[in-house]
Amino acid sequence: MHSLIIFASGRGSNAAAIIDHFKQNGKAAIALIVTNNPNAGVLAIAEQQHIPFLIVDKTSIKETLLIEQMADCKPSLIVLAGFMWKIPGTIVAAFRNKIVNIHPALLPAYGGKGMYGNHVHHAVLEAGEKETGITIHHVNEHYDEGDIIVQARCKVQANDTEDTLADRIHVLEHFYYPRTVEYLIG
Ligand code: GRF
pLDDT digits (tens, 9 = 90+) for 89-122: 999 999 999 999 999 999 999 999 899 999 999 9
State the Cα–Cα distance between residues 46 and 104, nearest whole angstrom: 24
How large a percentage of the chain has pLDDT more than 70? 100
Distance of CA 13 from the midpoint of ligand 1 (Å): 7
Residue with CA at minimum distance from ligand 1 atom 10: 82
Residue with CA at minimum distance from ligand 1 atom 14: 13
List, for residues 143-178, the tens digit of each pLDDT value.
889 999 999 999 999 999 999 999 999 999 999 999
pLDDT at 5: 98
| E strand map for the chain | 2-7, 28-35, 53-55, 77-80, 99-103, 131-138, 148-155
Task: List active site positions.
Answer: 103
β-pair type (2-7, 28-35) = parallel
* Range 131-138 average pLDDT: 98
Looking at the CA of residue 9, tell me the nearest atom of ligand 1: 12
pLDDT at 143: 82
pLDDT at 177: 98
Name all residues whose Cβ lies below 6 A of ligand 1. Answer: 8, 10-15, 81-82, 102-104, 169, 173
Count of positions (residues) in the chain: 186
Domains of the chain with bracketed CATH: 2-185 (3.40.50.170)
Q: How far is CA 113 from CA 32, 49, 86, 160, in A?
A: 26, 33, 9, 24
* Range 30-52 average pLDDT: 96
Contacting residues for 84 by C-beta, under 8 A, at least 6 apart = 9, 10, 36, 37, 116
pTM of the model: 0.97
Looking at the CA of residue 41, tell me the nearest atom of ligand 1: 12
> Residue type at 89?
G
Distance of CA 50 from the midpoint of ligand 1 (Å): 22
State the Cα–Cα distance between residues 145 and 132, nearest whole angstrom: 18
Identify the burial level of 109 via C-beta atoms within 10 angstroms of its C-beta, where 0-12 means exposed, 13-18 middle and 19 or more buried: middle
